[in-house]
Amino acid sequence: MLFMDIDIVEYKYEGVSGRYVTTVDLERFYLGLSDLFEICVEGRSVENRDVKSVRVGSGDKKIFMWSQMHGNESTTTKAVLDLLLFLDSGNEMANSFLNAFTLLIIPIVNPDGAFAYTRVNANGVDLNRDAVDLSQPESKILRRVFDEFCPDFAFNLHDQRTIFGVGDKECAASLSFLSPSFDMDRSVNVTRERAMKLIVGIYDALRNHLPNGMARFDDGFNLNCVGDYFQYRGVPTILFEAGHYKGDYLRETVRGFVFRALISALSELEADRYIDNIVDKYFLLPENNKSYVDVILRKVLEPFSGVFWSVSLQYEEVLFNDRILFLPIITEISKKESKFAHVCVNTELKFIVQVSDLNRLIGEKAFEIIDFGSITVNDLLKKQ
**What residues make contact with Zn ion under the rule CB under 5 A?**
70, 73, 158
Q: How far is the CB of 241 from Zn ion (least distance, A)?
A: 7
Q: How far is the CB of 102 from Zn ion (least distance, A)?
A: 26
* 375 phi/psi in degrees, rounded to 5: -80, 130
- Secondary structure (3-state) at 206: helix
Q: How far is the CB of 129 from Zn ion (least distance, A)?
A: 11
Identify the DSSP state of 172: B
User: Of 238 and 349, which has the nearer Cβ to Zn ion?
Assistant: 238
Other residues' Cβ atoms within 10 Å of the Cβ of residue 197:
21
Q: How far is the CB of 165 from Zn ion (least distance, A)?
A: 18
Q: How far is the CB of 242 from Zn ion (least distance, A)?
A: 10
Q: How far is the CB of 353 from Zn ion (least distance, A)?
A: 36
Q: How far is the CB of 245 from Zn ion (least distance, A)?
A: 18
Sign of CA dihedral 327, 331, 336, 338: negative
- Secondary structure (3-state) at 204: helix
101, 118, 96, 106: which is closest to 6 by C-alpha? 96
Q: How far apart are CA 13 and CA 286, in angstroms?
A: 32
User: Of 109 and 199, which has the nearer Cβ to Zn ion?
Assistant: 109
User: Of 19 and 158, which has the nearer Cβ to Zn ion?
Assistant: 158
Tell me which amino acid residue 105 is.
I
User: Of 158 and 216, which has the nearer Cβ to Zn ion?
Assistant: 158
User: Of 102 and 179, which has the nearer Cβ to Zn ion?
Assistant: 179
Name 341's bridge partners: 293
Q: How far apart are CA 114 and CA 21, in angstroms?
A: 7
Q: How far is the CB of 156 from Zn ion (least distance, A)?
A: 9
User: Of 73 and 112, which has the nearer Cβ to Zn ion?
Assistant: 73
**Helix count (H) and strand count (E) of the chain?**
11, 15
Tell me which amino acid residue 187 is.
S
User: Of 70 and 192, which has the nearer Cβ to Zn ion?
Assistant: 70
User: Of 49 and 70, which has the nearer Cβ to Zn ion?
Assistant: 70
Chain residue at closest Cβ approach to Zn ion: 158
132, 159, 140: which is closest to 228 by C-alpha? 132
Cα 190 from chain centroid (whole Å): 26
Cα 292 from chain centroid (whole Å): 16
Max Cα separation, the chain? 72
